[in-house]
């Protein structure tokens, strides 16, 4: 076993965040290479470096510090945080860094991942954030596209979904994207959610009209320990119903934030797929930058093996 002590960088300093929050940051040293040398004195041969500033802004503001850690300590250095292009990978490896860690970009851009692995081999690794057994992935920055407020449009949507618009629940549908746009459609109860029976042809036409993937229906009438229950319909893309939809639940998290149902930071437990007898638990989290007010959302789930076999080529 190889133990990798870690150095997190922000504004060229060694820091630690409390539960990933940038507004709760502790500075441990103004000289990160010195920290690496101390690790080496205590027997470490490897060090894990995270550019928190880079992760936040998608750049390499601490590049010189990372290089200084490598040059002064001589340790095996792997670095991650904000690595979203081959140019950045090349920049680190050309500078002598031993391994570059890809994050969300590896999931969002398969061509990028494949190209990096083909070119750099074992100098590339993919990192995953895990919380309580759930692999968490960053969503694209959330965008509120529109609010549905016209009564004719509202009645039409709910009629297509096999329900009725109920103004008394105090929530209206929003069009939101955290990578893919969907209509967030609230309903009053789990029973109403279970009874939804969309006209798939009309829903497909409606989705094309609004330029969305589909409808993500949900209710806050939830079981104990659950934030909400939901169902996802995307017949425009030949998906009548889906059992687990990461981007849609990221958008739902933002919806609940916008409507005041949750406050950042928050962690949500969402259940989807019950109507398909394939219940899935999706965990989401939302944080807010205290300086800019920018919101970040992560979505995670557990993998389940449905079948195993061999492919002979």
Q: Is 138 noted as a catalytic residue in this protein?
A: no
Residue 166's pLDDT band, with cuts at 50, 70 and 90, is very high
Q: Which of 8, 51, 138, 182 is catalytic?
A: 8
Q: Is 129 noted as a catalytic residue in this protein?
A: yes
Q: Residues 6 or more apart from 232 whose CB is under 8 A from it?
A: 182, 214, 215, 216, 217, 239, 241, 242, 245, 248, 272
Share of the chain above pLDDT 70, in %: 96
Residue 303's pLDDT band, with cuts at 50, 70 and 90, is low
86-113 confidence digits (pLDDT tens) = 999 999 999 999 999 998 787 678 889 9
Task: Decide the pairing of beta strands 143-147 and 134-138.
Answer: unpaired
196-233 confidence digits (pLDDT tens) = 999 999 999 999 999 999 999 999 999 999 999 999 99
Q: Which of 98, 109, 129, 199 is catalytic?
A: 129
**DSSP at 46:** E
Q: What number is the average pLDDT over the span 15-37?
A: 88
């Amino acid at each position: 076993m190889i133990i990798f002590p870690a150095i997190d960088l922000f504004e060229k300093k060694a820091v630690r965040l409390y539960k990933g929050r940038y507004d709760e940051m502790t500075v441990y040293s103004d000289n990160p290479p010195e920290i690496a040398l101390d690790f080496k004195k205590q027997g470490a041969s490897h060090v894990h470096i995270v550019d928190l500033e880079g992760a936040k802004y998608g750049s390499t503001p601490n590049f010189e510090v990372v290089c200084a850690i490598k040059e002064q300590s001589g340790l095996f250095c792997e670095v991650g945080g904000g690595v979203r292009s081959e140019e950045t990978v090349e920049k680190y490896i050309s500078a002598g860094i031993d391994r570059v860690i890809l994050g969300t970009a590896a999931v969002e851009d398969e061509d990028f991942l494949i190209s990096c692995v083909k070119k750099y081999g074992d100098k590339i690794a993919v990192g995953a954030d895990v919380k309580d057994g759930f692999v968490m992935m960053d969503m694209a920055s959330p965008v509120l596209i529109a609010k549905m407020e016209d009564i004719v449009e509202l009645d039409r949507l709910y009629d297509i979904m096999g329900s009725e618009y109920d103004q008394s629940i105090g929530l209206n549908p929003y069009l939101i994207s955290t990578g893919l746009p969907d209509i967030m459609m609230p309903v009053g109860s789990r029973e109403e959610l279970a009874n939804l029976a969309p006209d798939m042809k009309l829903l497909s036409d409606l989705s094309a009209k609004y330029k969305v993937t589909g409808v993500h229906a949900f209710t806050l009438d939830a079981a104990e320990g659950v934030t909400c229950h939901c169902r996802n319909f995307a017949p425009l893309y030949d998906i009548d119903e889906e059992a687990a939809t990461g981007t849609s639940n990221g958008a739902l998290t933002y919806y609940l934030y916008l409507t005041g149902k949750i406050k950042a930071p928050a962690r949500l437990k969402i259940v989807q797929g019950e109507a398909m007898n394939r219940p899935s638990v999706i965990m989401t989290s939302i944080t807010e930058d205290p300086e800019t007010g920018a919101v970040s959302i992560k979505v995670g789930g557990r993998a389940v093996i449905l079948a195993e076999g061999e492919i002979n080529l």
